[in-house]
Structure 1
Amino acid sequence: MAGSPDHKTDDGDTGDTMVRFQSYLHGGTSSLLSTLPTVLVFPVYKTIFRQQIHNTPVCQAVRQLWKEGPVKLYRGVAPPLLMRTLNGTLLFGLQDTLLHQLAPSAQNVRPAVALPALAGLGAGLVEAAVFTPFERVQNVLQNGQNDRRLPSLRSVLVTLKVQRVSDGFYRGFFPIAARNALGSSLYFGLKGPVCVVVAGQGLSPVASSFVSGTLTSMAISLALYPLSVLVANMQAQVGGEANGVAASWRALWKSRHGSVALLYRGGSLIILRSCITWGVTTAIYDMQQKRSC
């Protein structure tokens, strides 16, 4: 009898560990399944990138990609595919782990979205630390101006490796950390309440999750789009003068002639990409979580 409480506690700990593991597994699975839309919309993403870097209208960006040909169209697709799967595994799993670590000491925290948002903030910071090198490589590969000097993934990796960490793989880390932390915090804080509101309109659970993920990601993408533009411009070049965040922002704002409209060039396309990928990811993740309960 004396050992019964300990036995129950061990079973509870094992159960909690399995629940945490499932969050990582479901996050990775949902992101892996959403890689098909990622591949399909990669030309859209690359069009956005060209607009962010060269400040060109969408028609001119499309003509650039068409002239380069189909082979170069998918240059740089490998990092986002790998990053997408690993990102979902870490983001969803770590947020769930942090949420359950915070819950016992914050039982009276209000509003209810505060804890998921706080856990999302922590997960976003870790995500930035892990995936900034992936984004750096991706942006270098997607910049057509690097094709001749850095023709392959290996050449990019070798070149970045010999540079200082802050100029090489972790160029643009601080705006990425701000974007990912804020984005993850808003996503995990809002998607639940939005899903409840949408479900109240009579939609199925899967449809509610999809719409929730879509609406939430749309709002986040619009709000944080300038940070994505800043990151793309900071990371696209290799070598040369490495300006800090403030100097890079001033140069970007000057290149956009102080126009918010020009700064948001390509924003409509990134909304489309976010709607597809995060809508699908949210729906698959929530469906898996409900089935495992």
Structure 2
Amino acid sequence: SKKTLMMAGNPDDKQDEEGLKDPMVCFHSFLHGGTSSLLSTFIVFPVYKVVFRQQIHNTPVYQAVGQLYKEGPAKLYRGVAPPLLMKTLNGTLLFGLQDTLLRQLSLSSQNVTSTSALPALAGFGAGMVEAVVFTPFERVQNVLQNGQNDRHLPTLKSVLVRLKAQRLALGYYRALLPITARNALGSSLYFGLKGPVCAAMEGQALYPMVSSFISGTLTSMATSLTLYPLNVLVANMQAEVGGEVKGVMACWRMLWESRQRSVALLYRGGSLVILRSCITWGITTAIYDRQQKRSG
């Protein structure tokens, strides 16, 4: 009868709800996020290093590349261990936690929040957790990448010992506030835009992996350019250990003055950020989406 059908509900809805609660599906999101991030990070590390030198030393591309060339291939991947570990764990947590939060929101916010807004909302929450967990990794990475630290902090162990001697807010958790803002907003934009852009690309009769690559490229490009000033601020706040301690606004004023109050100079290195974003998030998104579809 009609009453029985209403009580039974839609079988497809029940199947979807069971899928949302399946712990193995969430596990795959963590695993695939880590794998895709590991591969993409190793490939683009030299590009990241050039961008970092521009952010710290305010030099054009050719000078940053020349510095790395003079240092030789042995130092090209110096400091790769922290970002490789960080980005692998970062991808594991970010994709896995975002997918987990998205499933929970999908179950609990029926007819309350627009379905299209849920990925961005889940991304915002995942980005906040990501910032708390991975700020120490980024701190160590930025100290190692700063060539001016080579003499008095030559090894990873020496950096860890020096940071441990500092208070958390000045040591491992230096620049936590701008990192939290950057990660939460960045993750929200990425996950909020990725799906619609990918759907639009698939509508152009492209292969799924090509659609995912373009989607990851375009969304990360928009995100990285929007939040690039925060990246520069974080790099400058974290690159040194010790010295005079300044707050976020004081550091921002110093940075703005050092760039001669010029947006163009503040965005120096932006072209390479686009390239890095294209490669990193294009590869990451394509691999992640491919693995998700194969296990789904």
Q: Do Structure 1 and Structure 2 share a fold, with TM-score over 0.5?
A: yes
1:124-158: CA deviation from partner (whole Å, max 9, x where unpaired): 00111111111100000010100000000000000
Q: Against the structure 1 CA distance between its residues 45 and 108, is the aligned structure 2 distance closer, same or farther, given a 3 Å change threshold?
A: same
Aligned positions of 1:103-114 closer than 5 A: 103-109=106-112, 111-114=114-117
User: Given the superposition, is the C-alpha separation of residues 248 and 15 from structure 1 closer, same or farther in structure 2, using an over 3 Å criterion?
Assistant: closer
Q: Within 5 Å, give how 1:1-293 maps onto structure 2.
A: 12=18, 16-34=22-40, 38-109=41-112, 111-293=114-296
Distance 1:68 1:227 in 2: 28
Q: CA deviation at 1:30?
A: 1.9
State the Cα distance separating 1:120 from its structure 2 match.
0.3
Q: In 2, distance between residues paired with 1:40 and 1:279?
A: 12
Q: Distance in 1 between matches of 2:60 and 2:106?
A: 48
Q: Tell me, what secondary structure is at the counterpart of 2:139?
A: helix
Greater mean alpha carbon deviation, residues 109-118 or residues 22-31: 109-118
Q: Which moves more between the two structures, 114-123 or 55-64?
A: 55-64
Shift of 1:58: 1.4
Structure 2 SS opposite 1:20: helix
One-letter identity of the residue aligned with 2:228? Y
Q: Secondary structure at the match of 1:187?
A: helix
Q: d(CA) in 1 for partners of 2:214 and 2:43?
A: 20
Please report the TM-score for the alignment, with normalisation by the length of structure 2: 0.91
Aligned to 1:247, the other structure's residue is in SS state helix
Q: Could you tell me the TM-score, scaled by structure 1's length?
A: 0.92
Let me know the Cα RMSD of the aligned residues. 2.0
CA distance in 1, matches of 2:45, 2:216: 20
TM superposition outliers: structure 1 runs of 4+ over 6 Å? none
**Rounded Cα–Cα distance in structure 1 between residues aligned with 2:232 and 2:50:** 13
Structure 1's 102 and 14: CA in aligned 2 closer, same or farther, altered over 3 A? Answer: closer
- Structure 1 residue 218, shift from structure 2 partner: 0.6
Shift of 1:273: 0.8
Contact 1:207 1:283 in 2 (8 A): yes
Mapped partners of 2:242, 2:256: distance in 1: 21
Task: Identify if the C-alpha distance between structure 1 residues 202 and 28 changes in structure 2 by more than 3 Å, giving closer, same or farther.
Answer: same
Paired amino acid for 2:26: R
Percent of aligned positions that are identical? 76
Q: Over residues 3-22 of structure 1, what are the superposed CA-to-partner deviations in whole Å (9 max), with x where a residue is unaligned?
A: xxxxx99x959961111111
Alpha-carbon distance, 1:28 to partner:
1.5
SS state of the match for residue 227, structure 2?
helix
Unaligned segments of structure 1, at least 5 residues = 1-7
Q: Is the 8 A contact 2:212 2:282 kept in 1?
A: yes
Amino acid at match of 2:82: P
- Count residues with an aligned counterpart: 283
Measured against aligned partners, the alpha-carbon deviations of 1:243-292 in whole angstroms (never above 9, x if no partner) come to 11100000000000000000000011011111111111111111111122
In the aligned structure 2, how far is the partner of 1:41 from the partner of 1:32?
11
Q: Which amino acid aligns with 2:220?
A: S
Residue 69 of structure 1 deviates from its aligned partner by 2.5
Question: Would the alpha carbon gap of residues 14 and 279 (structure 1) be closer, same or farther in structure 2, given more than 3 Å must change?
Answer: closer
Structure 2 unpaired stretches of 5+: 1-13
Q: Is the Cα contact below 8 Å between 1:113 and 1:190 reproduced in 2?
A: no
